[in-house]
Amino acid sequence: MNVVRRQIRLGRSAVVVLGAFLLVLLQVTAAHAATPIHFKFTDTESFTDTTSCGFPIALSFQSSFVGTAFLDAQGNFQHVIVEENAVGTDSANGITLRETDHFVDFIDSIGNDKQVGLPIHIQGGGIVIRDAGYLLFNPDGSVAVIHGPHPQLEGDTAALCAALS
């Protein structure tokens, strides 16, 4: 996925995760502040990618999140580990491709996000795009480190555009 698409997904996922975390945090009493908080929830998201190809791509996902938030003894947020499994579709020009993503985010208190796994896995009669490995995002969403193949993140969307043409 290109950086714009990644920022849309990262921003949406981060808002969902942090919103759920804050709801859980409100239920935590000061006496239990140092105890890790476990949570899980699902979310549905749909949006249109207008930057990857010369035509719009409709994306629709059902994501499940399982995570643990860690607080210090005073109840201040330290970091969260969130596993995301997403199943969805990428559709354009009457063609629909299946996308299945699985990755784990390690987000610290200042917003650095280390992501490990398979954030993009698009299939259509075989693998169309597979981004996999390790990514480190700065708090502003910019990419700090890339390890592993991440063609879509790095802007190589030719295979995706061809598969949807």
Which residue ranges make up each domain of the chain? 3-163
Q: What is the pLDDT of residue 101?
A: 95
Q: What is the pLDDT of residue 76?
A: 86
Give all strands (DSSP E) within 10-56, no chain letters. Answer: 37-49
Backbone angles phi, psi at 158, to 5 degrees: -55, -45
Instruction: Report pLDDT digits (tens) over 2-41.
Output: 444 444 455 455 555 555 555 555 555 444 557 899 999 9
Q: What is the pLDDT of residue 20?
A: 55
Angstrom distance (rounded) from CA 74 to CA 164:
51
Kindly tell me the sign of the dihedral angle through the C-alpha atoms of 88, 96, 49, 58: negative
Instruction: Report pLDDT digits (tens) over 101-153.
Output: 999 999 999 999 999 999 999 999 899 999 999 999 999 888 999 999 999 88
Q: What is the pLDDT of residue 3?
A: 44
> Average pLDDT for residues 34-57, to the nearest whole number?
92
Angstrom distance (rounded) from CA 37 to CA 108:
15
Q: What is the pTM of this model?
A: 0.78
How far CA 114 is from CA of 60, 78, 103, 108, in Å, comes to 24, 14, 10, 9
SS3 77: strand
> Average pLDDT for residues 83-92, to the nearest whole number?
96
Q: What is the pLDDT of residue 141?
A: 86
Query: How many Å separate Cα 33 from the centre of its chain?
Result: 27
Angstrom distance (rounded) from CA 24 to CA 67:
11
Backbone angles phi, psi at 95, to 5 degrees: -115, 135
